[in-house]
C-alpha cells in the first residue's frame, strides 16, 4: 500500500507556508456547491465545522450527544500549550516542536509536529477574540503555568476548566454558522459507516438515536473528528459515550490504523473502588507540582494500612518511600506521565500498594502545607509560629491553588485530602494512536480526513500535558480549512452526491443487518458484561506493561470473547426508537476488534517507547529501551477482511532536525 505522507519539500520552518502557497483553492462560488460532513463536535470537529462553513462550504455536522457542547473535550482540565513566549523564558516554535517530539519518544512526524507548534500562537489569539476567558494576571495580561516534561511556562489556562472554555468557544462559532444555515446540525445521531464511491469517501450512514431511523448522508468529503478509543479498557477517564466506531468503520473500509497500541495511562487518577465502577476521574497533573508521591518502605506497613490497622499519617518520615524522588532525582515528582505511571505500578506489583485492592499510592500534600504555612507566617511577621498555625496557614494557600480539585476528590472518596494523603493510581486517559493521515490530515482513503485525537500524527508514543487541546484546535481551525480545499478542487464539477446509488444502498443494508442481528440475538449476557471482560484483558495484558506471552494470551482471549459476544449478547428493545443498549452493543463489538489489533500492534513492536512498555526491553533498573534501528516507523495496519489478520504497512520516520536520544529524567 502506498503510504505517501505528502510532506512538502524545503526546510522544516518553511514547509507549511510553502504548502499553503502551493495548495489548490476552490473559489467562493464553487464552495457553495460542495458538501462536507463533519463527524464529532469536540474541539477538532466544532472548529473545523465552523471554519469550513465560514469559508462557504455546506457543512453537515453530527454528534451522538444531545448537543454539540457536550463533546468530551469539555472535560480537559489543565491547559493549552502555545509558543507565545509571553514569559520571555526562552520559548519558541522550535522549542515547542522539540519538546513534543522528545516527549513522544521520537515516534511522531517532524513536519506535522512543527506545523502544530507554528500555528499554536494563532490559537490563543483566535480564542481571545472569541471571548474565551483565559486566566489573567493583575496587569490584565494572560497568565501562564508549567506542565510536565518541559522547562518553560507556555500553558494558557482557565482554572481547571480550560477544555470547557475552549470547547464553548468553538461551540459558539459553530452555533453562529448553524444560525446562518451554513451548518446543518444533527444532534443525537451516530455515524455507523462510511460510504465509498469509486474509491472516494462520499458519505456516511448514520442512525438517528431518538427515532432509530437509518439515514444516508452524501458529501464530497468526510471529516472524522471522533476522538480517542480509551474506552476499549472499559474503565478510563473518557466519557461513557466515547467510542471508536466511526474510526473503526473507516478502518474496515480501507483506512489504515496507525500505532494503535500507543495509549496514555495518566498517573494521577482516583483508584478503582469496586466492580460497579463505571468510569475513572482524573486529578490534574498540576497537583504533582506540590504533592509528593510515596508508598510505605516496609511491606508489613503496607499490609497493615490495607487492613485498616495503620493510618498513613502515623507512618514516620523514614518509613516512607518517595520512589519517584528516589529513582528520578532530577525531575522527581514531575517526570512525564508514562514514567510516573509505570513507577506506581512497579511499587504496587511489588506489594506496597495502599488501598484495599493494593492498587493505589499516596499523593501527599503535608510537606507542601507546612512549607507554604511557614512562608505565610513569615509574611505575616510571625517568626515563631506554632505547628497548628503553620498548618492552618498552609492549608489556606493550598486551597487557593487546588481547592476545586481537593473538593472533587472529597466528593468522590469522602476523604479529606488536607488531613490525609490522597490515594491515586494510573488510569487510561488518551490514545496517541489513531487513523493514519498524511500531512493534509487525509487518511489513505481519498476524501476521508481525520482530525484531533482520532488521528495518530502529532504525539508519537506519549503525549505531553496540555497538547491535546492545542492539536484539536490547530487541526480544525488552521490546518484542515486549507488542506481540504486542495482535495476538493477536483470536485467543483461533481455536483451533489446521489445517496440513492447502489453504493449507499449496499452499505446501508450492511448496517441494518448488523443492528438486526444484535437485536435478534437474544443471548444471556448484557453488553456491559462483555465490555468489562474486554477491559480486564486489555488492562492486564496490554496496559502499562506488556510482554510477548501476555499479548499472545490476550489475542487468543479476545478472539474467544468476540465469538462469545456474537453468540451470547443480549440487546433488549427494538431497532425503532431510542435504544441505548443497542448503541452500546455496536460500540463494544467494534472495541473487541480494535482490542485485538492493539495487542497485535504491541506484539509487533519489539521495543519500549513512551506509553508502550515491553517488559523484555528494559534496562536493569527498569527504564525503557527504544530500538531506533528496527522500529523507527509508524505501524499502519490495513484491514484484510478478517480482524485477526491485519496487514502491516510501515511509514519510516525521518529525523532531519532533531537528534535521536534516550530520554532520561534521572
Partner 1 sequence: MNLTLKVWRQDGPNDKGRMETFKVNDVSEHMSFLEMMDVLNEQIINDGGDPIAFDHDCREGICGMCSMYINGEAHGPGRGVTTCQLHMREFNDGDTIYIEPWRAKAFPVVKDLMVDRSAFDRVIQAGGYVSVNTSGNTQDANAIPIEKENADAAFDAATCIGCGACVATCKNSSAMLFVSAKVSQFSLLPQGEPEAADRVLKMVNQMDLEGFGNCTNTGACEVECPKGISLENIARMNREYLKASLTK
List the catalytic residues: 337
Which single residue is written with the C-alpha cell 476552490?
A: 26
State residue 435 phi and psi, 5-degree precision.
Answer: -65, 135
The torsion of the CA quartet 472, 473, 478, 482, rounded to 10 degrees, works out to: 40
Which single residue is written with the C-alpha cell 467510542?
A: 243
Interaction between residue 482 and partner 1 (CB under 8 A) = no
Which positions from 119 through 138 interact with partner 1, judged by CB under 8 A?
A: 119, 122-131, 133-138
**Which of 10, 329, 403, 572: binder of partner 1 (CB under 8 A)?**
572
3-state secondary structure of 407: helix
Interaction between residue 10 and partner 1 (CB under 8 A) = no
Q: Which helix (H) or strand (E) holds 653?
A: none
Distance (Å, whole) CA 348 – CA 516: 45
- For residues 339 to 358, the per-residue mask of contacts with partner 1, x marking binding by CB under 8 A and - elsewhere, is --------------------
Interaction between residue 141 and partner 1 (CB under 8 A) = yes
3-state secondary structure of 1: coil
**Which of 10, 329, 351, 580: binder of partner 1 (CB under 8 A)?**
580
Cβ 277 to partner 1, closest distance in Å? Answer: 7
192 to each of 70, 101, 253, 259, 586, how far by Cα in Å?
A: 20, 34, 12, 23, 9
**Which of 140, 308, 381, 641: binder of partner 1 (CB under 8 A)?**
140
Which positions from 588 through 627 interact with partner 1, judged by CB under 8 A?
A: none
Interaction between residue 94 and partner 1 (CB under 8 A) = no
Interaction between residue 310 and partner 1 (CB under 8 A) = no
Interaction between residue 308 and partner 1 (CB under 8 A) = no
Interaction between residue 114 and partner 1 (CB under 8 A) = no
Interaction between residue 68 and partner 1 (CB under 8 A) = yes
Cβ 355 to partner 1, closest distance in Å? Answer: 12
Name the one range near partner 1 by CB under 8 A: 278-286, 361-369, 487-495, 598-606.
278-286
Name the one range near partner 1 by CB under 8 A: 23-31, 33-41, 409-417, 600-608.
409-417
Distance (Å, whole) CA 517 – CA 513: 6
Cβ 74 to partner 1, closest distance in Å? Answer: 5
Distance (Å, whole) CA 547 – CA 48: 40
Distance (Å, whole) CA 36 – CA 295: 53
Which positions from 37 through 66 interact with partner 1, judged by CB under 8 A?
A: 47, 50-51, 54, 65-66
Which positions from 157 through 196 interact with partner 1, judged by CB under 8 A?
A: 158-159, 161, 164-165, 168, 171-173, 175-176, 178-179, 185, 187
Cβ 54 to partner 1, closest distance in Å? Answer: 5
Cβ 88 to partner 1, closest distance in Å? Answer: 12
Interaction between residue 214 and partner 1 (CB under 8 A) = no
Q: How many residues bind partner 1 (CB under 8 A)?
A: 81
Q: Specify the pairing of strand 422-431 against strand 633-638.
A: unpaired
Name the one range near partner 1 by CB under 8 A: 72-80, 384-392, 486-494, 657-665.
72-80
**Which of 90, 411, 621, 641: binder of partner 1 (CB under 8 A)?**
411
Which positions from 434 through 463 interact with partner 1, judged by CB under 8 A?
A: none
Cβ 13 to partner 1, closest distance in Å? Answer: 18
* E-only strand ranges, 270-346: 292-296, 320-321
Interaction between residue 23 and partner 1 (CB under 8 A) = no
Distance (Å, whole) CA 146 – CA 144: 7
Interaction between residue 498 and partner 1 (CB under 8 A) = no
Cell of 502: 447502489
Interaction between residue 628 and partner 1 (CB under 8 A) = no
The set of residues, in sequence order, having a beta carbon less than 8 Å from that of 312 and lying 6+ positions away, is: 305, 354, 362, 364, 420, 421
State residue 440 phi and psi, 5-degree precision.
Answer: -85, 5
Interaction between residue 277 and partner 1 (CB under 8 A) = yes
Which single residue is written with the C-alpha cell 512525564?
A: 336
3-state secondary structure of 459: coil
Name the one range near partner 1 by CB under 8 A: 246-254, 473-481, 491-499, 553-561.
473-481
The answer to whether 560 and 596 are in contact (CB under 8 A) is no
Residue from 141, 18, 72 nearest 468 by CA: 72
The torsion of the CA quartet 597, 598, 599, 602, rounded to 10 degrees, works out to: 120
Amino acid at each position: 500500500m502506498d503510504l505517501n505522507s505528502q510532506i512538502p519539500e524545503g526546510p522544516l520552518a518553511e514547509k507549511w507556508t510553502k504548502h499553503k502557497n502551493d495548495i489548490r483553492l476552490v473559489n467562493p462560488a464553487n464552495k457553495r456547491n460542495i458538501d462536507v460532513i463533519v463527524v464529532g463536535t469536540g474541539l477538532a470537529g466544532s472548529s473545523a465545522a465552523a471554519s469550513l462553513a465560514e469559508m462557504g462550504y455546506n457543512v453537515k455536522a453530527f454528534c451522538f450527544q444531545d448537543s454539540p457542547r457536550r463533546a468530551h473535550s469539555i472535560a480537559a482540565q489543565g491547559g493549552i500549550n502555545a509558543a507565545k513566549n509571553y514569559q520571555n523564558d526562552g520559548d519558541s516554535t522550535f522549542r515547542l516542536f522539540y519538546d513534543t517530539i522528545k516527549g513522544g519518544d521520537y515516534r511522531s512526524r517532524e513536519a506535522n509536529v512543527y506545523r502544530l507548534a507554528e500555528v499554536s500562537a494563532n490559537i490563543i489569539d483566535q480564542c481571545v477574540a472569541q471571548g474565551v476567558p483565559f486566566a489573567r494576571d493583575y496587569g490584565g495580561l494572560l497568565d501562564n503555568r508549567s506542565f510536565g516534561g518541559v522547562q518553560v511556562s507556555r500553558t494558557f489556562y482557565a482554572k481547571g476548566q480550560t477544555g470547557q472554555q475552549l470547547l464553548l468557544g468553538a461551540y459558539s462559532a459553530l452555533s453562529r454558522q448553524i444560525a446562518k444555515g451554513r451548518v446543518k446540525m444533527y444532534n443525537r445521531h451516530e455515524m455507523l459507516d462510511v460510504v465509498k464511491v469509486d474509491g472516494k469517501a462520499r458519505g456516511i450512514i448514520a442512525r438517528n438515536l431518538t427515532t432509530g431511523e437509518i439515514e444516508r448522508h452524501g458529501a464530497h468529503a468526510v471529516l472524522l473528528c471522533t476522538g480517542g478509543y480509551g474506552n476499549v479498557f472499559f474503565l478510563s477517564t473518557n466519557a461513557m459515550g466515547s467510542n471508536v466506531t466511526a474510526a473503526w468503520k473507516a478502518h474496515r473500509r480501507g483506512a489504515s490504523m496507525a500505532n494503535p497500541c500507543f495509549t496514555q495511562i495518566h498517573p494521577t487518577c482516583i483508584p478503582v473502588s469496586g466492580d460497579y465502577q463505571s468510569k475513572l476521574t482524573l486529578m490534574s497533573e498540576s497537583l504533582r507540582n506540590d504533592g509528593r508521591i510515596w508508598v510505605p518502605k516496609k511491606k508489613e506497613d503496607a499490609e497493615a494500612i490495607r487492613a485498616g490497622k495503620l493510618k498513613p499519617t502515623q507512618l514516620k518520615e523514614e518509613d516512607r518511600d518517595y520512589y519517584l524522588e528516589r529513582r528520578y532525582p532530577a525531575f522527581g515528582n514531575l517526570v512525564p506521565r508514562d514514567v510516573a505511571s509505570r513507577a506506581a505500578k512497579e511499587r504496587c506489583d511489588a506489594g506496597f500498594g495502599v488501598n484495599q485492592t493494593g492498587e493505589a499510592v499516596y499523593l501527599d500534600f503535608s510537606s507542601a502545607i507546612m512549607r507554604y504555612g511557614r512562608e505565610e507566617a513569615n509574611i505575616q511577621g510571625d517568626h515563631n509560629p506554632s505547628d497548628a498555625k503553620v498548618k492552618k496557614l498552609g492549608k489556606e494557600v493550598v486551597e487557593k491553588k487546588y481547592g476545586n480539585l481537593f473538593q472533587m476528590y472529597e466528593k468522590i472518596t469522602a476523604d479529606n485530602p488536607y488531613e490525609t494523603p490522597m490515594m491515586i493510581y494510573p488510569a487510561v486517559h488518551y490514545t496517541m494512536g489513531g487513523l493514519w493521515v498524511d500531512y493534509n490530515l487525509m487518511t489513505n482513503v481519498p476524501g476521508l480526513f481525520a482530525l484531533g485525537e482520532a488521528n495518530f500524527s502529532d504525539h508519537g508514543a506519549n503525549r505531553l500535558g496540555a497538547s491535546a487541546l492545542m492539536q484539536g484546535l490547530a487541526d480544525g481551525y488552521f490546518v484542515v480549512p486549507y488542506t481540504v480545499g486542495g482535495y476538493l478542487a477536483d470536485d467543483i464539477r461533481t455536483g451533489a452526491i446521489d445517496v440513492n446509488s447502489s453504493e449507499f444502498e449496499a452499505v446501508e443494508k450492511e448496517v441494518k443487518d448488523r443492528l438486526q442481528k444484535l437485536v435478534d440475538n437474544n443471548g444471556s449476557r448484557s453488553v456491559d458484561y462483555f465490555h468489562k471482560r474486554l477491559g480486564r484483558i486489555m488492562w492486564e495484558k496490554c496496559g502499562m506493561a506488556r510482554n510477548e506471552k501476555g499479548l499472545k494470551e490476550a489475542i487468543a482471549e479476545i478472539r474467544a470473547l468476540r465469538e462469545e459476544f456474537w453468540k451470547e449478547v443480549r440487546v433488549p428493545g427494538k431497532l425503532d426508537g431510542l435504544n441505548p443498549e443497542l448503541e452500546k452493543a455496536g460500540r463494544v463489538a467494534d472495541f473487541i476488534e480494535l482490542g485485538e489489533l492493539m495487542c497485535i500492534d504491541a506484539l509487533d513492536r519489539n521495543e519500549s517507547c513512551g506509553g508502550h512498555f515491553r517488559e523484555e526491553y528494559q534496562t536493569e533498573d527498569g527504564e525503557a529501551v527504544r530500538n531506533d534501528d528496527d522500529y523507527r516507523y509508524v505501524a499502519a495496519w490495513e484491514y484484510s477482511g478478517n480482524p485477526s489478520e491485519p496487514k502491516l504497512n510501515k511509514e519510516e520516520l525521518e529525523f532531519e532536525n532533531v537528534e535521536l536520544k534516550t530520554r532520561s529524567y534521572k
